[in-house]
Amino acid sequence: MQSKIILALLINLIFQVNIFSQTHIPHNSEVNGKWTVAKSPYVVEGRVIVPVGKELIIEPGVEIKFNALYKKDYKSLSKKNRGCLQVEGTLKAVGTASNPIILTRTGSSEQWGAIYLKNADNSEIAYCNIDYAGGLTDLGGPNQDAFGAISIQNCNPTISNVKINNVETGVYTSEGASPIIKNSVITNCAKSALVCVEKSNPTIQNTVISKSLFGIRCEGSNPILINCNILYNQSYGFVLHQLSKPQISNCIVWGNGSAFEVYYKMLISQSIIQNKIAKIITGKNKGRLKENNIIGLPRDYPNLNSMLIETNLLELEIAQNNVKGIYRCIIRKDKEC
């Protein structure tokens, strides 16, 4: 009997230690300084802000749990406090390969908001695992929306060795943001893995973008992709609209619904391209498809071993591509190439 009482007391003590080791950050708090493993996990109960001129450092191994809400309940922060870290100063969230920083939701269902970097130059996010983020709108002013798990507005942070999984949108850049994103994985996004709008020009290197509805969507922006893998996205690997001028080199574009939908200039070079649907390019293209390895699917895939380029052919150069396993190449459906 005595041993059972001692065991019950020990279990109760462990439970209490676990509760009191959590650090709760209330909605609309201003934060800075250092978040440590000793005080982890941190439970963010709404929007918290790193103000201008302040810095937040997050140690390797810290776990942050953001308040999660049903996706239709986050439009107004005054009513629904979906967890969000809004950075207007500097964020240094740098984990290690063996001890990453974890950013996730409270509970086992629904979605939290975003990491929102606004004018947050010199910020760095590295070796972080991010999941179940759904974005957030109406963050206190016009054009203050965080649609991506990491949303970057008018600043140039560095993001490296980050894993983003099971989110609404992976990374969202806007208002001239030019981040460097490298050595990362963005996968299983319900919408797009990467969105670039409003003259944002990210450089993406050595990154896997996969298994999302869209790989990359751009409007009026000029992303540079080098040594990236754009794989198995349900619809297009790339959707490039409204004066976007991407530069895509040494990339693998493989197994997507279609490879590219392009409505302005492009440069696609020294890349490997194979996709589920025969359409490699649709839209009104200007630019170059040059020095690529374009690989057809096996002939037992009906109608999928043709290369279809639908375009108005204005200033489109198709040259020096190594085409394998494709027995027809059609331009505008009625012309062989």
Per-residue pLDDT of the chain (337 residues; tens, 9 = 90+): 566 555 555 555 444 444 457 999 999 999 999 999 999 999 999 999 999 999 999 999 999 999 998 655 444 444 467 899 999 999 999 999 999 999 999 998 899 999 999 999 999 999 999 999 998 887 766 667 899 999 999 999 999 999 999 999 999 999 999 999 999 999 999 999 999 999 999 999 999 999 999 999 999 999 999 999 999 999 999 988 878 888 899 999 988 888 888 777 778 887 888 776 656 666 666 677 777 777 765 544 444 445 556 555 445 666 777 777 654 555 554 555 5
Q: Give the pLDDT score at 289.
A: 75
Type of residue at 99: N
Specify burial of residue 84 (Cβ count, 10 A radius: 0-12, 13-18, 19+).
buried
- CA-CA distance, 294 to 280, in Å (whole number)? 9
Q: Record the tokens describing residue 333, joined without a space.
A: 């459906």
**Rounded-to-10 torsion of CA 171, 233, 216, 162:** 30
**Backbone phi, then psi, for 227, in 5-degree steps?**
55, 45
Q: Record the tokens describing residue 292, joined without a space.
A: 């690529």
Q: Report domain extents, the chain.
A: 25-168, 188-337
Three-state secondary structure readout of the chain: CHHHHHHHHHHHHHHHHHHHCCEEECCCEECCEEECHHHCCEEECCEEEECCCCEEEECCCCEEEECCECHHHCCCCCCCCCCEEEECCEEEEECCCCCCEEEEECCCCCEECCEEEECCCCCEEECEEEECECCECCCCCCCCCECCCEEEECCCCEEECCEEEEECCCEEEECCCCCEEECCEEEEECCEEEEEECCCCCEEECCEEECCCEEEEEECCCCEEECCEEECCCCEEEEEECCCCCEEECCEEECCCEEEEECCEEEEECCEEECCCCEEEECCCEEEEECCEEECCCCCCCCCCEEEECCCCCCEEEECCEEECCCEEEECCCEEC
Q: Give the pLDDT score at 286.
A: 66
Q: Give the pLDDT score at 246.
A: 86
pTM higher than 0.75, yes or no? yes
How do strand 208-210 and strand 84-87 relate by DSSP bridges?
Answer: unpaired
- CA-CA distance, 163 to 183, in Å (whole number)? 9
- CA-CA distance, 66 to 250, in Å (whole number)? 37
Instruction: From residue 311, give the alpha-carbon distance in Å to each of 63, 250, 255, 261, 286.
Output: 49, 23, 22, 10, 9
Number of residues that this document lists for the chain: 337
- CA-CA distance, 157 to 92, in Å (whole number)? 10
